[in-house]
Amino acid sequence: MTEAAALLPRARELATAMMARCVAEIPAYQRLPASVLEGDLVANAAAVVELVLTTLDEDRAPTDDELAIAVTWGAERARDGLPLDAVLRIYPLGAQEAWRLAASEGTVGLADRLFGFLAEVMPRIAAAYLREREDIDWERREHRQNLAGNLLAGRPAHRAAERGGQTLADAYDVVVFRLPAPRRGAGTRATTDLFRAVRSELDTRREVLTTFEGDSGVLLVPATPAHSADELVARIDEVSHAACTAAVATAPAHADIPHAHAEAAEVLALAERLGRPPKLYRLADLAIEYQLAKPSPARAALAALLDPLEPHPHLIDALRAFVASGYHRGEAAAALTIHRNTLTYRLGRVHLITGYDATRPADARQLAAAMTAYDIEAHEAGKH
């Protein structure tokens, strides 16, 4: 067995290590959604590693068709918004990881041929990348992303905007959104295609400043009658073919943008933590939950109301579904896939154990607050 053949079964392991180093050492990769990094990019990297090791094992040069696949994947990184230096750095990083793995296996003779492969493929990838970049409005996208980064960090942006021909609004609605997860079984490519589709849609909104931070995107939407955060999020839902979870806060002035960003991010995290349905949230939508999210004796006391239900998780689920449905028994029973009478029985048990009747308005409000406090504390304790 050749040295290359000995490493082939570990191609996926090597690709995963390559992407982990990319994220750690190349800031541009940190802006990509984790689902894209762990899915499509690792799969692409693994295929390239397998190609390298296969050609080395067979003692031949890669064919033009084989190289074309790797070159195409490299060019696609332009559509992902990665700069060329970030795209090319992955290859020497990959070679270093391969060398480290080979050394641990006691098989280091393939080094010269490995670097020969890099010398062949990297110039082709650079050329293909530059061709791809000419086909997209790269400079404008990069400029808008830099402006968004400056404003979110509280740095002045007027001069940079003028140099790039961008007019800044006086006030912005800061939207933080999470891309919806692709349908089960859709494959690793689906997440990358979704990310690109959303980016392409946002590229058509010249006045909207956009940046991505891992799995979440941040939009600075001019707070004017001509623009609507609700309409833009609805459009992202259309492009995604699924509803995304988002939150918005208004910044009356540029100096307020970092605070609005922090508020929107906190509201989004709260909505996700509590399992709220995908939609665009404002602080007012979750004002009670927002207050309860702050540790306090009141929150602990509310959560403690449901402590007697701990041995009966099906009763907690029944109460949660009843509250989430807006106190509609039919909807709650359907969500739990149980008969309506079964739900009524379980709510009766909740009343018997806690002393609060979820079907009475005053008690229902108390139980809803207790449910929120309970879920928040459970999440923080790692129970969810």
pLDDT tens for 5-52 read 877 888 888 888 888 888 888 888 887 877 777 777 888 888 888 888
The helix (H) or strand (E) run that includes residue 25 is: helix 11-25
What pLDDT, on the 0 to 100 scale, is given for residue 200?
A: 83
Task: Give me the phi and psi of 174, to 5 degrees please.
Answer: -95, 115
Q: In sequence order, which residues have a C-beta less than 8 Å from that of residue 229 and are 6 or more positions away?
A: 173, 175, 219, 221, 248, 280
More confident residue, 383 or 155: 155
Check pLDDT > 60 for residue 106. Answer: no
How far apart are alpha carbons 102 and 314 in whole angstroms?
53
Q: Across the beta sheet with 280-281, what order do the strands follow?
A: 209-213, 216-222, 172-178, 245-251, 280-281
What pLDDT, on the 0 to 100 scale, is given for residue 229?
A: 95
The whole-model pTM stands at 0.67
Q: What is the pLDDT of residues 238-297, one digit of tens each?
A: 998 889 999 999 999 999 999 999 999 999 999 988 888 899 999 999 998 888 888 889
**What percent of the chain is helix, strand and coil (3-state, nearest 5)?**
65, 5, 25
Check pLDDT > 90 for residue 173. Answer: yes
More confident residue, 61 or 286: 286
Backbone dihedral region for residue 347 (phi beyond 0: left; psi -120 to 50: alpha; all else: beta): alpha
What pLDDT, on the 0 to 100 scale, is given for residue 261?
A: 96
Residue 245: which of 217, 223, 207 has the closest Cα? 217
- Give burial (CB, 10 Å; 0-12/13-18/19+) of 193: middle
Beta strands in 192-257 (DSSP E): 209-213, 216-222, 245-251
Residue 245 · residue 239 · CB < 8 Å = no
Please name the amino acid found at residue 375: D
Residue 318 · residue 277 · CB < 8 Å = no
pLDDT confidence band for 155 (50 / 70 / 90): very high
The arithmetic mean of pLDDT across residues 233-242, rounded, is 91
What pLDDT, on the 0 to 100 scale, is given for residue 107?
A: 55
Query: Chain-wide mean pLDDT for the chain?
Result: 85
CA dihedral for 129, 132, 138, 141, sign (positive or negative)? negative
How far apart are alpha carbons 35 and 50 in whole angstroms?
22
What pLDDT, on the 0 to 100 scale, is given for residue 384?
A: 54
Check pLDDT > 70 for residue 72. Answer: yes
Residue 191 · residue 40 · CB < 8 Å = yes
What pLDDT, on the 0 to 100 scale, is given for residue 34?
A: 76
Please name the amino acid found at residue 42: V
More confident residue, 377 or 164: 377
Check pLDDT > 80 for residue 315. Answer: yes
More confident residue, 56 or 156: 156
Task: Give me the phi and psi of 164, to 5 degrees please.
Answer: -95, 5
Check pLDDT > 80 for residue 361. Answer: yes
Look at 103-117, 227-241, 357-371 and tell me which has the smallest mean pLDDT.
103-117
Residue reference for tokens 């907690």: 316
Q: In sequence order, which residues have a C-beta less than 8 Å from that of residue 239 and are 6 or more positions away?
A: 197, 198, 201
Check pLDDT > 70 for residue 67. Answer: yes
Please list the residues that pair with 221 across neighbouring strands: 173
Check pLDDT > 80 for residue 189. Answer: no
How far apart are alpha carbons 259 and 220 in whole angstroms?
13
Check pLDDT > 90 for residue 223. Answer: yes
pLDDT confidence band for 111 (50 / 70 / 90): low
pLDDT confidence band for 110 (50 / 70 / 90): low
What pLDDT, on the 0 to 100 scale, is given for residue 108?
A: 54
